[in-house]
Chains A and B, each alone.
Chain A
């Protein structure tokens, strides 16, 4: 399984902080699955962090952890 973590405004969209998803080939595939599951993500601003490294592209393997990290503006 792949663990997906949701932070900040993204968590408000998904209504959960974390979930396990069936393995997919890469980040692009994961993104389309997430967009289908949570259509509001299409207008959200975030970057992917795979196994604690921010990246735009990545292959995904069993037990990988992917976080959706939005920038915050509050202060």
Chain B
């Protein structure tokens, strides 16, 4: 191990349950972050800082002024430029030893197989149900881990799906696809910057805990966080016997998620 590597990661390697082995596991891991907004920014910053070997960033959006209260990775003079491109440049500066690739596009049935191919873990920083169902379906088919995170007003949710032997998927927990009009988005309902930052950091934490095998349980846990009361509600689940997992790539390619989610 070279001195630079040791110096950079020494504070986390000092943790007994983490050590050099944990650091090496991180360096061998590949995480794709879909959506570089309120969740994806903090998640990517901490994962790059922690030393994940390869990180992919997916976002077709440009930075907007009303993003900056919560997406503090970006600067005012970058408004109008690509989130994926700016994030790649800033995260490379934070940790040049990480392999980072950026995709200036939105994930869809047309590109998911290609974009996510190299990655073991898919972290969902999106703000659309269509993307959530698509990523979970993809992860179920490919036996990859789907890291769910989402926010609503002062509340947030986090869960690792398709985790280890546990076959629980987002699709099986929420089999009734929400109608878009029934669930308001951040742009409709408003959001404080702190909440997605906490939830995105929790997603990154769950990723690192999984990779380094320091989770306190092997059971599936769905975490609900309330920022107003600072309360956490955790719930478990069993496999849904009625859930039919995808069988082939064709199941993903032929699916119209926009119609599916109303």
> Which chain A residues have a beta carbon within 8 Å of chain B's beta carbons?
5, 7-9, 43-45, 47, 49, 52-55, 67, 69-75
Q: Does B7 contact A (CB under 8 A)?
A: no
* A-side contacts of B196, CB under 8 Å: 74-75
Q: Does B164 contact A (CB under 8 A)?
A: no
Give Cα A73 to B127, complex, Å: 5
Give Cα A16 to B157, complex, Å: 19
| B127 and A67 contacting across the interface, CB-CB below 8 Å | no
Stretch of B15-23, B85-93, B182-190 contacting A (4+ beta carbons < 8 Å): B182-190
Which residue from chain A places its CB closest to the CB of B195 in the assembled complex? Answer: A74
Which residue from chain A places its CB closest to the CB of B37 in the assembled complex? Answer: A75
Known A-B contacts A45-B183, A71-B157, A71-B178; the reply to A8 vs B235 at CB < 8 A is no
17 further A-B pairs in the complex, CB-CB below 8 A; given A7-B233, A74-B196, A75-B38: A49-B235, A53-B235, A54-B173, A54-B237, A67-B235, A71-B129, A71-B132, A71-B183, A72-B151, A73-B183, A74-B152, A74-B189, A75-B37, A75-B124, A75-B126, A75-B127, A75-B196
- CB contact between A72 and one of B35, B40, B125, B157 (< 8 Å): that residue: B157
> Which chain B residues have a beta carbon within 8 Å of chain A's beta carbons?
35, 37-40, 124-129, 132, 149-153, 155-157, 173-174, 176, 178-179, 182-186, 189, 191, 196, 222, 224, 226, 233-238
Question: Which secondary structure characterizes the binding site on chain B?
Answer: mixed
Which residue from chain B places its CB closest to the CB of A5 in the assembled complex? Answer: B233
**A to B CB contacts below 8 Å, 16 in the list:** A5-B233, A8-B152, A9-B184, A45-B183, A54-B222, A67-B235, A69-B222, A71-B129, A72-B150, A72-B151, A73-B132, A73-B150, A73-B183, A74-B150, A75-B125, A75-B127
* B-side contacts of A45, CB under 8 Å: 174, 176, 178-179, 182-183
